[in-house]
Structure 1
């Protein structure tokens, strides 16, 4: 199933023109008018077949938020897309969803997550990012997940309005006869205001403005399939953005008798469960004067190298809190030494977000010129960027016996890695993503091939690749098998 970008962007143009909907001044209406219109809505939506167990196939195009700093070039953001098939049983509170994420450079995650009566798990179908291991999820998350999905289905999205018992006390009404639109402003609580706009003929939901959450939804391209009349196109704006955050399209909506019970179970051959991230960092010497910093989950891995009285850190994820913990651990272990530098591989947000903890201590930031430009332009750093000190890393440069290599690749316009030649260790971030249990991925992004080919052509000798994500002990054999499995 391919994403219809042309159809999506046509919808965006319609949605943007509709932004003026939210400048309407609400006129006072009688309680009878409000109740009559709500009754009309109830009669309209009651015509829909009951939807208790169903399947929905839908596409997502993500354009907002932190997209620029997860893109190949932060100056020209690429778009993340996803294809999802979701099955819900609203009475039993069961669900299963298969989602295929498509990222920059051909990176592709194919995951399934589900919830049955007692358990909720997530697992990878193509080997990434979890291998054969399982991620335990909370069964208490069903309602929040349901709400995320249901807001995309117009006749579910209006349910809070239709289920309101005090219509005259909580709903304000305005009808614009010239435009043929009716606005209902629902205030079910002091801190919650939601504005609904409907077309009068035909009677359809056009938009929802959840003012409390600062989210706006536009609904369009109504079609009738399998007895359901619903909006296939949903454009979402978050946090006051003037460009869409998500553009979504529902391809199909089908009634099911039940969810296949096999889909609500862990597939054969999967396990064990990934340990819960305990947040406790530990350091382990993996070569003379070279230390690995990680926790029980190994979601993020940082290295540091002791050189006389100075320490060089490699990696600054994923927020200042984690960076502060890392610094505290290092200095607690070596209280008489100082951290002189911190190195980052590329300007993606999850790799640079910890830098302020180092910058405020006057610690030198090492990165290639492109990454430094990205760091300087990162919106969250603007206020304090004058305090950041940088050292530009060149391709094939050696500092204190450590070799730095900067490669053009399809994941980030520039991405570098380091080779500790004397230790036989490579530290890299997103070039090579191998699951913690060494499960072979079914697809290898082009940038992984770029990295592997470079390592081979330069005949870099190593016994261990420390990945920033998850697997911090990738052997030469595993790298070779990963490459061969995708030839």
Structure 2
């Protein structure tokens, strides 16, 4: 792995540098056309492939940059992807499995046929039996990224260029034995330029650097299977960093007649369709002086508690726009009172991205000691962290009628929840993954057991569990069914 990563860094450095004419001689007229013709001959056998299945597994850093179990020991998570594509009919069926610490399985299934383009789950942790309508443009949004994982598909835009003389420049590096084609995409402005680097002998694609999007792909470990030669290892980074966000390994590539028709429809029993959120926050008093804040989709939920002329907010810090809307709603409802604190359950990015909005207003941040340290280390707050005011939450600490409990579990090294004893309401984030329709997932993460075992051991009075995400009215019955499915 170290050798491969070193090669990735070298290719990145080459692709990013200003090409030097002293080491890379200028091409003579017609040389680019000649090299592209050579490429067309090289890839001739694969040019007729328009329907195929692709399976690969990969180590994923991109979606874990702020979601580590321990921010001090960054990790990668394993994912698997299996997809069938028909480039002519614009059909595809995609199954993407993300395995997270603690046993959470995030399975994302999507497909597009002639009239439908849907997105659903089989495990049911987040959507349950509901599904999204992705719109008929989803093929054009998803498939170009998938094609970049197969070298002979990734070069097709170059091979399909009609004006080689006007849009393609060739540079050769004699010392490394490589040739780079610089492709100005037809009809685009100057920033949409793509660098294709090839090894000369044997002829192989080494890297693609899209200057417009700063996306870099590095191809390696070429093997031949059923007469088709392709790179089995692909490293990619959409941001162009020297360390890849995705380390991919191609498991299987198969030419097919068509996408399996069974995969191009929703399984029986699914529905209804998930409506788009109206984005309008509303509040509802669910207990004395305790209010639920949500919108029509309930993807994000928060609580606030009124204590005299002060207000404690629980959640509502997922992203800046949400923070601003939440503050506006509370201020309009209680213009004579002020928000004094906002509570954070754990320091993953999707729970803290909006904290700088509260910090700018002098609002205190309540979190456990570990979460505070992680927030201070969060790259997005580097320029503003001096504005942040913290108050440490300790295990079993009570503040104005809110009982805080801090647990160690496999989702985050430290993760807390709050219990309002008088009303029997719990506010939690990611201990329970219960879809809005109360579907019980097929695979339950072990930190769900940690949470339920704890509240049972404490014999906490529970009438309602509010999830920071999606289901804001989880009953004891549904919680118990979830626990029983672990057995």
On whether the aligned pair clears a TM of 0.5, the verdict is: yes
Residue in structure 2 matched with residue 397 of structure 1 by the alignment: 397
Most deviating of 417-426 and 184-193: 184-193
> What do the CA deviations read for 1:310-367 (whole angstroms, capped 9, x no partner)?
1110003321111100110111111111111110001101101111111111111101
Structure 2 equivalent of residue 133 of structure 1: 130
Distance in 2 of aligned mates of 1:390 and 1:48? 59
Determine which of 38, 48, 51 is the counterpart of 2:49.
51
Q: Which runs of 5+ in 2 are unaligned?
A: none
Cα deviation digits, residues 6-44 of structure 1 (max 9, x gap): xx5553233234334334425321222111111000111
Work out whether residues 72 and 105 of structure 1, in 8 Å CA contact, stay in contact via their aligned partners in 2: no
From 32, 35, 59, the counterpart of 2:33: 35
SS of equivalent residue, structure 2 residue 48:
coil
What displacement does 1:240 show?
3.5
Q: Which residue of 1 aligns with 2:206?
A: 206
SS in 1 for 2:336: coil
Q: Which moved more, 1:419-428 or 1:99-108?
A: 99-108
| Deviation, structure 1 residue 278 | 1.5
- Matched with 1:164 is 161
| CA–CA distance in structure 2, aligned partners of residues 262 and 432 of structure 1 | 32
- Mapping for residues 211-230 of structure 1, pairs under 5 Å: 211-230=211-230
Match of 1:5 in 2: none
For residue 144 of structure 1, report the CA deviation from its aligned partner: 2.0
2: CA distance between counterparts of 1:237 and 1:256? Answer: 29
Residues 215 and 49 (structure 1), Cα distance of their counterparts in 2 relative to 1, 3 Å cut = closer
Determine the structure 1 residue equivalent to 2:411.
Answer: 411
Distance in 2 (CA, whole Å) between partners of 1:74 and 1:422 is 35
Could you state the TM-score of these two structures normalised by the residue count of structure 2? 0.96
Q: CA deviation at 1:50?
A: 2.1
Aligned to 1:11: 4
Change over 3 Å in CA distance of 1:136–1:317 after alignment to 2: farther
Partner of 1:287: 287
Q: Aligned to 2:59, which of 58, 61, 70?
A: 61
Counting only pairs closer than 5 Å after superposition, residues 182-193 of structure 1 correspond to structure 2 as: 182-188=179-185, 189=188, 190-193=190-193
Aligned counterpart, 1:4: none
Contact 1:48–1:227 (CA<8 Å) still a contact in 2?
no
Contact (CA 8 Å) 2:301, 2:316: kept in 1 or not?
no
Query: What whole-Å deviation, never above 9, does each CA across 1:374-413 have from its counterpart, x for those lacking one?
Result: 1111111111111111111100000111100001111111
Q: Aligned-pair RMSD on alpha carbons?
A: 1.4
Q: TM-score of the superposition, structure 1-length normalised?
A: 0.96
Corresponding residue of 1:77: 74
Matches within 5 A, 1:282-361: 282-361=282-361
Question: 2 CA distance for matches of 1:298 and 1:83?
Answer: 29
Q: Structure 1: 5+ residue runs without aligned partners?
A: 1-7
Alpha-carbon contact 1:68-1:76 (below 8 Å) kept: no
- For the residue of structure 2 that corresponds to 1:70, the secondary structure is coil
Q: Following the alignment from structure 2 to structure 1, what is the Cα–Cα distance between the partners of residues 158 and 200?
A: 17
Q: Matched residue of 2:213: which SS?
A: coil
**CA shift for structure 1 position 161:** 1.2
2:288 & 2:412 partners in 1: Cα distance?
Answer: 32
Provide the C-alpha distance between the structure 2 equivalents of 1:141 and 1:262, rounded to a whole number of angstroms: 19
Separation in structure 1 between the aligned mates of residue 273 and residue 2 of structure 2, nearest angstrom? 41
Q: The residue matched to 2:459 in structure 1 has which SS?
A: coil
- Deviation, structure 1 residue 216: 1.2
> SS of the counterpart of 1:31?
coil
